[in-house]
Amino acid sequence: MSRFVTRFAPSPTGRLHKGHAFSALTAFRAAQDAGGRFLLRIEDIDPTRCKPEFEDGIYEDLRWLGLDWEEPVRRQSDHLDDYAVAVETLRQRDLVYRCFRTRKEILDGIGHAPHGITDAARPGPHPADEEAELLQSGKPFAWRLSLDRAHDTIGGAAWDALSFFEEGHGPDGETGRIRARPELAGDVVLARKDAGAAYHLACVHDDALQGISHVIRGLDLFEATPIQRLIQTLFGWEEPVYRHHRLMTDANGKRFAKRDGSVTLAALREGGVSADAVRAEVLLQMDL
Ligand code: GLU
């Protein structure tokens, strides 16, 4: 049995559009071609944006496209305890710190920080007395990864050697073994104030747990890879191969995006478009 395992990991924050069909079909076909496994994972840890009806829509739309996947599907909101355990492990290793700042406070900090965005993205721990006071006041906080501590923990040589293997390509055509520079991401949030978990940690936790050998996803997530490689390294999790794919575009060369109100697969279906027609359009743009 091939150990090729890949996944499609949508967030149920809206109905799927052709860009999602492209991504799901790319991963599904790759698994078929490799005689491997295809998993569907629901990344629903954002309580403000994820909705059960959008999750139902994902199953409906993917089935309509002719995809099938292994059951049970992992729904991240069912596993918040797992991510909390992972954050606690990092806390014990002094790799994360509490951050009570609001998004606005951090953005405002960009103007005042000596190195602008680079410093503001690494706000650092609060002074001990201030933290104690904030904790006492019951103000919510996020856990942020300390890049300084991560650097000291793995050591300068391992930090400089951090890399990932790209079988697809980055936005500038990057391919092959690529140096990962997690410092560009800053002290990312690993546990949100409102959810106790956050994307980067939940994603790499599950990729490791599910034995994902190939992370196949859109180019828009290429920039997420360096920090995800660092998190994997801190936990000693296995390194998957990455295959970022181009983003499907419409007739005007514009990419499909939820926020631009792209036509959804559900609307196309209701308008009488067949799954075959959508698949054919998707296949035309696929890097074969
Ligand atoms: N849930 C993420 C999204 O919908 C995808 C995560 C990934 O493929 O790594 O953008």
**Confidence tier at 104 by pLDDT (50, 70, 90):** confident
Residue 247 CB–ligand 1 contact under 6 Å: no
| Amino acid 1: pLDDT | 53
pTM, 2 dp: 0.94
Residue 37 CB–ligand 1 contact under 6 Å: no
Task: State the closest ligand 1 atom to the C-alpha of 228, by its place in the atom list counted from 1.
Answer: 9
What span, in angstroms and rounded, lies between the C-alpha atoms of 24 and 18? 10
| Amino acid 119: pLDDT | 67
**Among the listed ranges 67-81, 97-111, 177-191, 208-222, which one has the minimum average pLDDT value?**
97-111
CA 165–ligand 1 middle distance (angstroms): 18
Amino acid found at 137: S
| Amino acid 111: pLDDT | 66
What span, in angstroms and rounded, lies between the C-alpha atoms of 244 and 176? 12
CA 132–ligand 1 middle distance (angstroms): 35
| Amino acid 105: pLDDT | 84
What span, in angstroms and rounded, lies between the C-alpha atoms of 201 and 232? 9
Tell me the mean pLDDT in the region 236-254.
93
Residue 217 CB–ligand 1 contact under 6 Å: yes
Residue 46 CB–ligand 1 contact under 6 Å: no
Q: What are residue 176's DSSP bridge partners?
A: 166
The protein residue with its alpha carbon nearest to ligand 1, atom 2, reads 10
Mean pLDDT across the chain, nearest whole number? 93
Chain segment 153-183, per-residue pLDDT in tens: 999 999 999 999 999 999 999 999 999 999 9
Which residues are CB-neighbours of 220 under 8 A, at least 6 positions away? Answer: 247
Per-residue burial over 176-206, b = 16 or more CB atoms within 10 Å of its CB, e = otherwise = eebebebbebbbbbbbbbebbbbbbbbbbbb
| Amino acid 112: pLDDT | 67
Tell me the mean pLDDT in the region 198-223.
97
Is the preceding omega at residue 72 within 30 degrees of 0, hence cis?
Answer: yes
Chain segment 247-278, per-residue pLDDT in tens: 998 888 888 887 677 799 999 999 999 999 99
Task: State the closest ligand 1 atom to the C-alpha of 218, by its place in the atom list counted from 1.
Answer: 8
**Confidence tier at 101 by pLDDT (50, 70, 90):** very high
What span, in angstroms and rounded, lies between the C-alpha atoms of 191 and 224? 16
What span, in angstroms and rounded, lies between the C-alpha atoms of 178 and 180? 6
Chain segment 63-78, per-residue pLDDT in tens: 999 999 999 999 999 9
**Residues 191 and 201: beta-carbon distance below 8 Å:** yes
**Confidence tier at 20 by pLDDT (50, 70, 90):** very high
The protein residue with its alpha carbon nearest to ligand 1, atom 7, reads 9
Residue 40 CB–ligand 1 contact under 6 Å: no
| Amino acid 160: pLDDT | 96
**Does residue 141 surpass a pLDDT of 90?**
yes
In sequence order, which ranges of the chain are alpha helices (DSSP H)? 18-34, 52-64, 80-92, 103-112, 117-120, 128-137, 147-154, 156-161, 199-209, 225-235, 265-270, 275-285
Q: Which residue has the higher pLDDT, 86 or 117?
A: 86
CA 250–ligand 1 middle distance (angstroms): 21
**Confidence tier at 103 by pLDDT (50, 70, 90):** confident
| Amino acid 253: pLDDT | 86
**Residues 242 and 215: beta-carbon distance below 8 Å:** yes
Question: Phi and psi of 96, rounded to 5°?
Answer: -130, 155
Q: Which of 28, 73, 199 to mutate to test the pocket of ligand 1 (most atoms within 8 A of CB)?
A: 199
